[in-house]
A and B are shown apart, each in its own frame.
Chain A
Amino acid sequence: MMAVARRTLFRGWVLLAYMVIFAPVVMIVTISFFQQEIVSFPPDGLTLRWYWNAWQRPEFARGFVSSLQIAALATLIGVPIGTAAALALVRSPLPGRGAFNSLLLGPLAVPGVVCGAALYMFYVRAENFLDQDITATLGGLIAAHTLLTIPWTVRLVAASLQGLDRAAEEAAANLGARPFTVFRRITLPMMRPGIVAASMFSFIQSFENLDLTMLLVGPGRSTLPVAMLSYLEFRIDPTLAAVATVQILLVGILMAVTDRFVKLSRVI
């Protein structure tokens, strides 16, 4: 009896934990299909029109496109330089390796709001100095988000490099392959899981970032999470839920695609 009660309690506790994690995600997807504009239960009926409605709202349409652009470009810039840094950290006789490591993981250790506030003042000072807009521009936001991609890339690519057997590279070199050929044909393919996972994490981190971004947007240029937050300060309705569902779907697709190349459960 005791054993049964204990097992039931344990299972209930585990279930409760996962319910707390999933309840808000399931909820937001559900209400995006509700017929009535003011959320209430049970729904009057189900519809897809809020998805169209969300796309018609300029702040969401523009925010979505901006967030895609920023995340894609920040990943394209950040992952190569982060990968290069990971190679240097793991493979070269680097003086002060520990210090470089802490420096490159820094953007993860500093709270987003703190980092955003510092960048905001830095950008405004630079604007006065250069007489050119930086805050609320695509360039300014991409630069800030590139910073976010560095620690993830360094960490994931360095981890994939550490486990590498160097014998294959030495064999290729002994057989006459030039250093660049060894890198392109042997090292790079072996690093691929780390790079793929780093790209996914970088893209998603950038796409959903709020804390760092908040102070750096303006009327000219905003991002999807910032647009959602300003909308939510007034109301929660199916239109917003539709936007959130699109973001959930995007993250889900990216994770599923990445998982086909690398076993995500082993990367994290």
Chain B
Amino acid sequence: MAVLIVPASLLVLGLLVAPMLLMLRISLNQFSPTQMMIEAMSADNYIRAVTDPYYQQVLGTTLGIALLCTLLTLILGFPAAYWLARIESRWKSLITILTLFPLLVGNVVRSAGWMALLGNDGLINATLLWLGIISAPLKLMYTPQAVVIGIIAVVLPYMILTLASVIESIPRSVEEAAANLGARPGTVFRRVVLPLALPGVAAGSILVFVLCMNTYATAILLGGPQFKMMAPAVYDQFIRANNWPFGATLAFILLAITMIFTIVGSIGIARRYKR
């Protein structure tokens, strides 16, 4: 029966591990505008990626946006997750599925929806103009704020579903006991619910942070051409600059940051909450 693992393993080795090794090798090559690529063994590309002010800024923007979006998603999503976890009716499974649904609809479709909401002729500007609150459309599209809102909408279902599954495992009696002993709702939340939900907070935040780091469609469509994050920068190196070695380098840096956060986070959760 153990041989049943072979086809899937070969597929992943052939189409993920082998291409990654090739990419690592290519990231050590050098770019030449005439020959495209010169075989080499140098760290020049990595040095350029971390010292060039332009790429420092791209990386800084990406990390900043990812941290901000993770924090806002956590704040926005926690009450919704608590609500979902504590529903006691036949609607619960329907609401769970409805939370999952937008997540499966795809990022391109949801970014398009935000374009229709935030554009100069979009619903928000049209409503504000009609109400007479503003006299000229606000510039909402192609701003970092638009990207932040778009990303939050994309990752929020992940956060809610992750948190809700952990909050569900907290017995309601624990909260009732604290309340009966005279704790106010704020105190119950701070001293009982939040500490017990921390593994979920950590797991949800790591997942969401990684997703934010890798944002592509939302950044392109809502941020416009001037707004650069890591994933579009990687893509540009292959499509526009045709610079494989540097594209491979940027891809590896993105992967490394993702991996470090995932691994450190999972070890942290495992160590703290080992049963």
Residue in A closest to B3 when the chains form the complex, CB atoms:
A88
A-contacting residues, B1-46, CB 8 Å: 1-5, 7-9, 11-13, 15-20, 22-23, 26
**B157 at the binding interface (Cβ < 8 Å):** yes
B-contacting residues, A12-68, CB 8 Å: 13-14, 16-18, 20-28, 31, 38-42
- From the candidates A27, A42, A88, A255, name the one contacting B116 in the complex (CB within 8 A): A27
Assign chain B's interface to a size class: 35 or more
Q: Is the CB of B1 within 8 A of A119?
A: no
* Residues in B neighbouring A14, C-beta threshold 8 A: 79-80, 83
Q: Is the CB of A6 within 8 A of B185?
A: yes
Interface string of B51-75 (1 = CB under 8 A from A): 0000000000000000000000000
**A169 at the binding interface (Cβ < 8 Å):** no
Q: Is the CB of B116 within 8 A of A92?
A: no
Q: Is the CB of B115 within 8 A of A232?
A: yes
Q: Is the CB of A28 within 8 A of B109?
A: yes
Q: Is the CB of B122 within 8 A of A39?
A: yes
Q: Determine chain B's interface SS by DSSP, over half rule.
A: helix
* Assembled-state Cα–Cα distance A117/B83 (Å): 41
Q: Determine chain A's interface SS by DSSP, over half rule.
A: helix
Binding site for A on B (CB under 8 A): 1-5, 7-9, 11-13, 15-20, 22-23, 26, 76-77, 79-80, 83, 92-94, 96-97, 99-102, 104-117, 119, 121-123, 126-127, 149-150, 152-153, 156-157, 160-161, 185, 210, 213-214, 216-217, 220-221, 231, 234-235, 238-239, 244, 247-248, 251-252, 254-255, 258-259, 262
Sample of 9 A–B contacts (CB below 8 Å): A18-B80, A28-B110, A85-B5, A100-B5, A111-B214, A117-B234, A118-B20, A265-B94, A268-B161
